[in-house]
Amino acid sequence: MKNSAVTKREKFDKELFKRSVNYNVKTLFRKTMEEASPQQIFQAVSYAIKD
């Protein structure tokens, strides 16, 4: 018997993830995605994944 809580996963929402990264760049660094350095984008992605 399989535990349904373990086998069932939430669907990844790509648009929500992109909005979350964009929001993190804006709030953490006060920059647009175009102005942010690769390190800043990496940190914004890390925070989005953590949440």
User: Is pTM beyond 0.85 here?
Assistant: no
Whether 29 and 40 have beta carbons less than 8 Å apart is answered as yes
The string of pLDDT tens digits covering residues 18-41 is 999 999 999 999 999 999 999 999
Confidence (pLDDT) at 8: 67
| Residue 35 DSSP label | T
In the chain, what are the domain boundaries?
13-50
Average pLDDT, the chain: 89
Residues 6 or more apart in contact with residue 6 via CB below 8 angstroms = none
Which CA distances in Å does 4 have to 1, 7, 11, 25, 44? Answer: 9, 5, 15, 36, 32
Q: Give the rounded percent of residues in the chain with a pLDDT score beyond 90.
A: 73
Whether 27 and 51 have beta carbons less than 8 Å apart is answered as no
